[in-house]
């Protein structure tokens, strides 16, 4: 019961903090820059959303999706790679078609970071489950 309540709080806080990055409502903060404050709050929101996703996916709170937590790594690595490639394509689309009117300035950078990390994670899992680094005898 306590986990579900914490999940709801983290989810709500994450959505609010990420949502505020699309507005000009953040204070200047101690660094005298409202846009930097929006970015810091947005990153905190992304972290909260990631923690909720991790809990829902793996059943525990954590930050590192190690292979031993995956239910079927030999088949689901492709989904992770496709997600990462989708993030990279979205990064390019944001850069081509958005003039900063809809998405905040660092949106493309954050999507590219998430995409690269997902592609590397999925690629590593493929290497150790189906690829040349597989230790199991066939």
pLDDT tens, 2-45? Answer: 888 999 999 999 999 988 888 878 888 888 888 888 888 989 99
The residue-averaged pLDDT of 71-75 equals 91
Closest by alpha carbon to 117, among 36, 63, 68?
63
Query: How long a stretch of residues is the chain?
Result: 138
d(CA 126, CA 116): 15
Locus of tokens 């590219």: 112
pLDDT band at 1 (very low <50, low <70, confident <90, very high): low
Q: How many alpha carbons fall within 13 Å on the CB side of residue 113?
A: 7
The distance of Cα 7 from the centroid of its chain, to the nearest Å, equals: 16
């Amino acid at each position: 019961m306590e986990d579900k309540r914490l999940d709801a709080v983290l989810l709500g806080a994450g959505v609010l903090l990420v949502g505020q990055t699309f507005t000009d409502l953040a204070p200047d903060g101690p660094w005298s820059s409202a846009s930097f404050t929006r970015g810091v709050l947005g990153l905190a929101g992304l972290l909260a959303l990631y923690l909720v996703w991790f809990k829902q996916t793996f059943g525990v709170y954590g930050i590192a999706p190690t292979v031993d937590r995956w239910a079927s790594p030999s088949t689901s690595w492709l989904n992770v790679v496709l997600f990462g490639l989708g993030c990279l394509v979205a990064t390019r689309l944001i850069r081509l078609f958005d003039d900063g009117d809809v998405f905040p300035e660092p949106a493309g950078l954050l999507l590219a970071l998430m995409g690269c990390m997902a592609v590397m994670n999925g690629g590593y899992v493929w290497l150790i489950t189906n690829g040349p680094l597989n230790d199991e005898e066939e």
